[in-house]
Amino acid sequence: MIGKIIGALVGREMDRRDGSGGLKGAAMGALVGGGLRRMGPLGMLLGGGYVAKKAYDRRRASRMAPRGF
């Protein structure tokens, strides 16, 4: 179950990079999730690390952005 969640998050991050949204991210998440599950614990660590880094970068960028009134 955790593998499916990580696969969905990886697909969402890959789709955000594209910017268009839609079915492409879901398909990529399913493919990547399957691949990560086949790699075992190492794949889960890699996928989780990718998602965590993207979330960290996004949070850091939002803190650095100037806020208007």
d(CA 43, CA 22): 25
Q: Which domain holds residue 36?
A: 1-64
Residue 32 lies in a domain: yes
* pTM recorded for the entire structure: 0.60
On whether residue 1 sits in a domain, the answer given is yes
Torsion sign across C-alpha atoms 24, 30, 31, 36: positive
pLDDT by residue for the chain (69 residues), tens only, comes to 677 777 777 777 777 776 666 677 777 777 777 787 788 888 888 888 888 898 899 889 888 877 665
Specify if 54 maps to a domain. Answer: yes
Residue 56: what pLDDT? 92
Residue 69 within any structural domain of the chain: no
How many structural domains are present in the chain?
1
